[in-house]
Amino acid sequence: MILELMSQVNNHEQTLYGLRYSLTAWRIGSEYAFHEDRGFFFWDAKNKQAMRCATVPRGISFIAGGTVEPDAKEFDLAADVASETYGICSNKFLNEEFKTVRFEMKITIRSNDSFSYDQDTQLQIKGNPNLFHHTDKNTRSRVK
């Protein structure tokens, strides 16, 4: 994951502080990436809202968010397909075959140079009555 600090974003009465990110994943031993996503992490200090806005080139976009105190070292972000604020949007094929219905992410700040995440993307796969949980977790540290 590559993180890049952004200048603050001022629009009307809202000020956001942000990080731009890029994530690419490969299966062990493969020369081809199987997953990419690009997006932003934002902090709206006035409203105590943390957000992750992401797009996956396969045809999914989401905004996950949650209320977070300024000094929090651990917090949760979530998106739900039925939400008008922190929601999920998919292309026609994925919506019919592999519908993403919920995204949850717990972030733990370990230090000024390190954080961990644990996330669960919940999919409703056509023909399967049970939700499929696509999980991922990692600890990221700044390279100096």
pLDDT at residue 27, as a whole number? 85
Is the CB of residue 20 less than 8 Å from the CB of residue 7? no
Structural domains of the chain, ranges and CATH numbers in brackets:
2-141 (2.40.128.20)
Backbone phi and psi for residue 97, each to the nearest 5 degrees, phi listed first: -105, -40
In order, the DSSP letters of 46-84 are TTTEEEEEEEETTTEEEEEEEE--TT-SEEEEEEETT-S
Q: What is the pLDDT of residues 87-96, one digit of tens each?
A: 999 999 999 9
Is residue 84 left, alpha or beta, with left meaning phi > 0 and alpha meaning psi from -120 to 50?
Answer: alpha
Confidence of residue 85 (pLDDT cuts 50, 70, 90): very high
- Give pLDDT tens digits for 31-67: 988 888 899 999 999 999 999 999 988 899 999 999 9
Per-residue pLDDT band for 121 (boundaries 50, 70, 90) equals very high
What distance in Å separates the CA atoms of residue 34 and residue 32, rounded to the nearest whole number?
6
| Beta strand pairing call for 2-5 and 114-125 | unpaired
pLDDT confidence of residue 62: 97
